[in-house]
């Protein structure tokens, strides 16, 4: 039996949703491509190149709609790739930009997207050094898809500390949950929820670079995009001899995002973010790390949201406001297609 039989016939939208099926598919690819650099399935590969410690990552962006409150596909493509480098402790330097454009895509929209890519690159301090453009027939694409791959350098003294997370460590979140997904959903459905629903789409490199320099006990970071915080933390604990306990009261969620979740039946823990980092640090540094994060414009709403626990091993649990606990599973099912 082929491992691909697990896919059960054909690819479903959920294979791209960031939850369990996505994770299984990625693991399958890693098995076929079989190499130690891909195996950790981190946000970026890390290796030595000519004496430098380099991080390399790729992301294709298929977000729909292309323009939404707080951002657009161009900003998402640049910042998303920068963030994948930044959470590995790298300073983003160079990006590639591969566009797949559908025949008939309006020149005016292309101009907006390309201008936005350039503007975002300037803001993030990265250079788009190489590119490629393909055009597919009408009905064989959807406006524009953008792949950005990125290269960054990991400087010693501003990197992750190299230790594995262990019980007692603190878990921090750099800001409110779910803003990006809520903005996309409401833009897509044409809903209105007051003024503050906007994507959090932002480049984390400056804030995380500052954090790593100031706090030498940072062990692990991720930007919780597809699948949200639940997916990122489940990936961390899977198969490990520790678990994570979150405090529901400590989770920052904007009222408007909470309303969207209640109305549409979503859990903020499952919603994609595009300008947030979840961080595991030695507990004796947690308060200092929180202060550093809150001192940055992108980290004003940062919180210590939980801790690494001895058990339940391999699980993420939430201590609820009323004092109960519930398991936070890896999201399953379709979630939100084309959120990024």
At its nearest, how many Å lie between a second copy and the CB of residue 338? 6
The total of other beta-carbon atoms located within 10 Å of residue 14's CB is 18
Q: Are 268 and 321 in contact (CB under 8 A)?
A: no
Site membership for a second copy, residue 1 (CB under 8 A): no
68, 79, 145, 242: which one binds a second copy (CB under 8 A): 145
Site for a second copy in 146-165 (CB under 8 A): 147, 149, 151, 153
Helix, strand or coil for residue 319? strand
Helix, strand or coil for residue 136? strand
Part of the chain binding a second copy (CB under 8 A), chosen from 5-13, 180-188, 228-236, 300-308: 5-13
What span, in angstroms and rounded, lies between the C-alpha atoms of 202 and 217? 24
Residue number, 85 or 246, with CB nearest to a second copy? 85
Site for a second copy in 76-135 (CB under 8 A): 93-94, 96-108, 110-111, 114-115, 117-118, 121, 127-135
What span, in angstroms and rounded, lies between the C-alpha atoms of 331 and 18? 8
**φ/ψ (deg, to 5) at 128:** -85, 105
At its nearest, how many Å lie between a second copy and the CB of residue 25? 6
Q: What is the DSSP letter of 337?
A: T
In DSSP terms, 309 is beta-bridged to 243
Residue number, 73 or 197, with CB nearest to a second copy? 73
Site membership for a second copy, residue 37 (CB under 8 A): yes
Q: What is the DSSP letter of 269?
A: G
Cis bond leading into 67, ω under 30°? no
Cα–Cα nearest to 150, from 75, 42, 77: 77
At its nearest, how many Å lie between a second copy and the CB of residue 142? 4
- Counting residues that bind a second copy (by CB under 8 A) gives 85
Site membership for a second copy, residue 60 (CB under 8 A): yes
Part of the chain binding a second copy (CB under 8 A), chosen from 59-67, 171-179, 278-286, 289-297: 59-67
The total of other beta-carbon atoms located within 10 Å of residue 311's CB is 12
Site membership for a second copy, residue 54 (CB under 8 A): yes
Q: Is the backbone of residue 117 left (phi > 0), alpha (psi -120 to 50) or beta?
A: alpha
At its nearest, how many Å lie between a second copy and the CB of residue 60? 4
Part of the chain binding a second copy (CB under 8 A), chosen from 22-30, 246-254, 278-286, 308-316: 22-30
32, 157, 322, 324: which one binds a second copy (CB under 8 A): 32
Residue number, 108 or 322, with CB nearest to a second copy? 108
């Amino acid at each position: 039996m082929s491992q691909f039989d697990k896919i059960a016939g054909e690819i479903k939208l959920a294979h791209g949703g960031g939850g369990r099926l996505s994770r299984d598919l990625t693991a399958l690819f890693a098995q076929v491509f079989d190499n130690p650099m891909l195996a950790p399935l981190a946000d970026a590969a890390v290796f030595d190149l000519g004496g430098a410690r380099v991080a390399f990552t790729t992301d294709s962006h298929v977000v729909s709609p292309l323009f939404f409150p707080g951002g657009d596909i161009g900003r998402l493509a640049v910042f998303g790739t920068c963030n994948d480098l930044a959470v590995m402790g790298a300073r983003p330097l160079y990006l590639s930009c591969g566009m797949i454009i559908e025949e008939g895509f309006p020149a005016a929209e292309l101009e907006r997207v390309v201008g936005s890519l350039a503007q975002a690159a300037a803001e993030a301090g990265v250079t788009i050094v190489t590119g490629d453009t393909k055009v597919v027939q009408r009905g064989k694409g959807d406006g524009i898809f953008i792949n950005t791959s990125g290269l960054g350098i990991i400087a010693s003294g501003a990197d992750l500390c190299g230790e594995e997370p262990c019980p007692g460590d603190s878990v921090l979140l750099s800001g409110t949950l779910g803003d990006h997904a809520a903005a996309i959903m409401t833009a897509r459905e044409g809903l209105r929820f007051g003024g503050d629903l906007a994507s959090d789409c932002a480049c984390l490199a400056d804030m995380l670079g500052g954090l790593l320099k100031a706090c030498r006990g940072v062990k692990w970071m991720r930007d919780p995009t597809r699948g949200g915080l639940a997916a990122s933390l489940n990936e961390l604990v899977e198969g490990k001899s520790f678990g994570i306990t979150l405090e529901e009261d400590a989770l920052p969620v904007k009222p408007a995002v909470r309303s969207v979740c209640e109305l549409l039946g979503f859990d903020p823990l499952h919603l994609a973010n595009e300008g947030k980092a979840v961080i595991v640090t030695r507990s004796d540094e947690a308060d200092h790390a929180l202060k550093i994060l809150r001192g940055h414009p992108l980290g004003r709403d940062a919180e210590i949201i939980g801790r690494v626990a001895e058990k339940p091993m391999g699980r993420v649990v939430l201590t609820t406001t009323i004092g109960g606990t519930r398991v936070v599973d890896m999201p399953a099912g379709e979630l939100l297609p084309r959120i990024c």
